[in-house]
Amino acid sequence: MEQDKEEEGRRHHRRYPLSQTVTFEVSAPLTFQESRHEETAGSIQNVSEGGLCLMTKQALEEAQIVKIKLPIPNVVATTPTLAEVRWVKRDQPHLIASHAQKSDAGQSAFRQPPAGQDSNHYLVGLRFLF
């Protein structure tokens, strides 16, 4: 039954608004070329048991695997985990509020980026792999 819900595009995990800066890197491609493991910063917009929505300046592609470092509350440490890019939307800060979806708690699920940031951003849906 859970698979049917996924196939129909429905969410089955409650989303919670969260504003948290994280770092991530795109996993190495499966080729013999030398890979770059460059860390990039992003901002979590909301989180659920199954994944999160990330705002970043870096364009990602569907099906890419990223290693994201999730902060542990009240501790100066992060937990690395792998996630798959499920969707990508290019957006601009003044439009993000108009695209905002309501979380199950009734709060805006997307937040505007801090003032002074570039106007081009990407909203990225990530699914935790484990």
Supply the pTM of this predicted model.
0.70
Mean pLDDT for all residues in the chain? 77
Predicted confidence (pLDDT) per residue in 39-56, tens digit: 899 999 999 999 999 999
Instruction: Please report the domains of the chain, with CATH numbers, ordered by start residue.
Output: 15-128 (2.40.10)
Predicted confidence (pLDDT) per residue in 11-33, tens digit: 678 999 999 999 999 975 555 55
Quote the percentage of the chain above a pLDDT of 70. Answer: 62
**Cα 58 from Cα 103, distance rounded (Å):** 25
Q: Where are the beta strands (DSSP E) in 1-130?
A: 16-26, 40-47, 51-56, 65-71, 78-91, 121-128
- pLDDT value, residue 100: 45
